[in-house]
Chain A
Amino acid sequence: MIPGCIRSLSRQSSHRNYGSWSKVASLFSSRKNNYATEASFETKPFRLHKLDSGPSTHVSVTKEDALKLYKQLHTIRRMETAAGNLYKEKIVRGFCHLYSGQEACAVGIKAALRDQDSVITAYRAHGWTYLMGIDPVGVLAELTGRQSGNARGKGGSMHMYARNFYGGNGIVGAQVPLGTGIAFAHKYQNTGGVCVALYGDGAANQGQIFEVYNIAKLWDLPCIFVCENNGYGMGTSVERASASTEYYTRGDYVPGIWVDGMDVLAVREASRFAVDHCTSGKGPIVMETATYRYSGHSMSDPGTSYRTREEIQEVRQTRDPITSFKERILNANLVSAEELKKLESEIRKTVDDAVKIAKADKEIPLNELTTDIYAECLETEIRNTTPFNPLSHARLGPAVNI
Chain B
Amino acid sequence: MLTSAVRGIARRSFSTSKCSAVQQMTVRDALNSALDEEMEKDERVFLLGEEVALYDGAYKVSRGLWKKYGEKRVIDTPITEAGFCGIAVGAAMAGLRPVCEFMTFNFSMQAIDQIINSAAKTFYMSAGKVNVPIVFRGPNGAAAGVGAQHSQCFGAWYSHCPGLKVISPYNSEDAKGLLKAAIRDPDPVVVLENELLYGVQYPMSDEALSKDFVLPIGKAKIERVGKHITLVAHSKAVELALEAANELAGKGIEAEVINLRSLRPLDINTVVQSVAKTHHVVTVEQGWPQCGIGAEISARISESEAFFHLDSPVIRVTGVDGPMPYTKSLEAVALPQTPDVILAVNKVLGVSQ
Query: Could you tell me which A residues sit within 8 Å of B by CB distance?
Result: 93-95, 145, 151-159, 169-173, 202-203, 205-208, 233-236, 240-242, 305-306, 363-364, 366, 368-370, 373, 382-389, 391
Contacts and interface: CB of A to CB of B under 8 A. Distances in A.
Interface stretch (B1-9, B124-132, B322-330): B322-330
A205 B318 CA distance: 37
Contact of A205 (B79, B146, B329, B337): B79
B58 A373 contact: no
A386 B344 CA distance: 7
Main secondary structure of the interface of B (DSSP, over half): loop
Contacts of A387: 315-316
Given A159-B148, A206-B80, A382-B320, A369 B334 contact: yes
B318 to A, nearest CB: 6
Given A158-B149, A236-B54, A384-B321, 17 more contacts: A93-B145, A94-B150, A95-B146, A159-B149, A170-B146, A171-B149, A234-B50, A234-B55, A235-B54, A363-B328, A366-B329, A366-B333, A368-B325, A369-B330, A383-B320, A386-B343, A387-B316
A247 to B, nearest CB: 13
B51 interface: yes
Shortest 5 CB-CB contacts between residues of A and residues of B: A93-B145, A156-B326, A94-B145, A156-B147, A235-B55
Interface in B40-65: 50-51, 54-55, 58
Contact of A391 (B51, B109, B319, B320): B320
A94 B82 contact: no
Given A94-B147, A173-B79, A369-B333, A154 B320 contact: no
A207 B80 contact: yes
Nearest to B149: A170
A363 B50 CA distance: 35
B78 interface: yes
Nearest to B284: A385
Interface in B297-353: 315-323, 325-330, 333-337, 340, 343-344, 347
A234 B51 contact: yes
19 contacts: A94-B143, A94-B146, A94-B150, A95-B145, A145-B326, A156-B146, A159-B149, A202-B78, A207-B82, A208-B110, A234-B51, A236-B55, A368-B325, A369-B325, A369-B334, A383-B289, A383-B318, A383-B321, A385-B335
Nearest to A171: B149
Contacts of A368: 325, 327, 330
Most B CB contacts (10 A, CB to CB) among A93, A156, A157, A366 go to A156
B330 A363 contact: yes
A396 B321 CA distance: 18
Interface in B149-164: 149-150
A364 B327 CA distance: 8
B107 interface: yes
B76 A240 contact: yes
Contact of A388 (B83, B147, B337, B343): B343
Given A234-B58, A240-B76, A385-B336, A171 B322 contact: no
Nearest to B326: A156
A335 to B, nearest CB: 39
A12 B83 CA distance: 37
A385 B317 contact: yes
Given A369-B325, A382-B322, A385-B319, A156 B145 contact: yes
B106 interface: yes
Interface string B116-130: 000000000000000
B147 A241 contact: no
B147 A385 contact: no
A392 to B, nearest CB: 12
Nearest to A362: B329
A389 B316 CA distance: 13
Contacts of A94: 143-147, 150, 326
A373 B322 CA distance: 7
Most A CB contacts (10 A, CB to CB) among B110, B327, B330 go to B327
Most B CB contacts (10 A, CB to CB) among A151, A366, A368, A385 go to A385
Nearest to A234: B51
Interface in B87-108: 106-107
A154 B78 contact: no
Contacts of A156: 145-147, 326
Contacts of A173: 79, 110
Interface in B205-236: none
